[in-house]
Amino acid sequence: MSPAKRLRARMAETSLIHIMAAHSPLSAILAEEAGFDGLWASGFELSALYGLPDMSLISMTQHLDMLRAIAGRTRLPIVADIDTGYGNAINVIHAISEYERAGASAVVIEDKIFPKVTSLVAGGRQELLRIEEFQGKIKAAVATRQDPDFLVIARTEALIADLGEVEALHRAQAYVEAGADMILIHSRKKDPSEIESFSRAWTGFAPLVIVPNSYPDLNAERVKTLGNIRMMIYGNYGIRAAATAMQETFRRIIADGGVQNVHKDILPVEEIFRIQKMSEIKAAEARFLC
């Protein structure tokens, strides 16, 4: 069974799956050990890893390199964040081929104009494509995929662009008509009211995807009562958790003038060896190095 087929099967089995953002093979391994259903190859997290804003500055090559590295260290299905598809519908054709070959089980394409600006930044430029042009991108993605289980997820930023629920519903329906398997609806409100309202108003047959970054109170129990949301993506928690831990640890080392205090509060190096599967390497050394 392909990872894409496993992703669909898991969604059918549990009705709601949990996808954790990953920006490295290490974060992917930890997400798998924690019990997540899949990984989000996040453009935001990778941009942050490079110390850059999420504004189409990371190239497709950089993102693909990291996706391949992640796919090589985990069995979890990977949902790839490909922003606007790196250009027009012709660019999308190339992108789908490359991402499917690299190990993605799904892609999310958003209806912003390239280059995009990250959705949650205050005062950010949020310009959307014409509906017909974005439909062309969806059609190109669907026509290009080789595995019929590979998911093409259309993300509408209509709520992010303050265009309202009616426009968001109109766009979502148009994207489903173009062949999208799922609709990702995004919001930057601090409460889940926009998402819950959209979910209740949505009558399309395609299930919904949400990214509860701005509205963390919308937990799985509440989501299940809505009935049509099948995927929750935790979009920036990996990089935020890593940055939180590093900031605190680095500051303590400077304040203490050494690691004499902080060392007992972080993972022992033996745990890193375990994650690296050092025992397997040692066994291979004993077997093959003469």
- Rounded Cα distance between 43 and 55, Å, is 9
Q: Is 54 considered catalytic here?
A: yes
Supply the pLDDT for residue 272.
Answer: 96
Residue 62 near residue 46 (C-beta atoms within 8 A):
yes
Task: Check pLDDT > 90 for residue 175.
Answer: yes
Residue 223 near residue 210 (C-beta atoms within 8 A):
yes
Q: 122 falls in which pLDDT band (50, 70, 90)?
A: confident
Domain boundaries, the chain: 3-238, 243-288
Residue 107 near residue 153 (C-beta atoms within 8 A):
yes
Residue 184 near residue 154 (C-beta atoms within 8 A):
yes
What are the tens digits of pLDDT across the range 37-82?
999 999 999 999 999 999 999 999 999 999 999 999 999 999 999 9
Supply the pLDDT for residue 249.
Answer: 98
Residue 96 near residue 145 (C-beta atoms within 8 A):
yes
Q: 116 falls in which pLDDT band (50, 70, 90)?
A: confident
Catalytic entry in 37, 54, 149, 181: 54
Task: Check pLDDT > 80 for residue 285.
Answer: yes
- Rounded Cα distance between 159 and 208, Å, is 15
What are the tens digits of pLDDT across the range 188-224?
999 999 999 999 999 999 999 999 999 999 999 999 9
What residues are paired with 106 via a beta bridge? 79, 151
Domain 3-238 in CATH 3.20.20.60 = yes
Task: Check pLDDT > 90 for residue 121.
Answer: no
Q: What are phi and psi of 47, to 5 degrees?
A: -60, -45
Q: 119 falls in which pLDDT band (50, 70, 90)?
A: confident
- Rounded Cα distance between 85 and 141, Å, is 9
User: Can you tell me the mean pLDDT for 254-281?
Assistant: 96
User: Can you tell me the mean pLDDT for 224-237?
Assistant: 96
* Angle, alpha carbons 172-1-280 (nearest 5°): 115
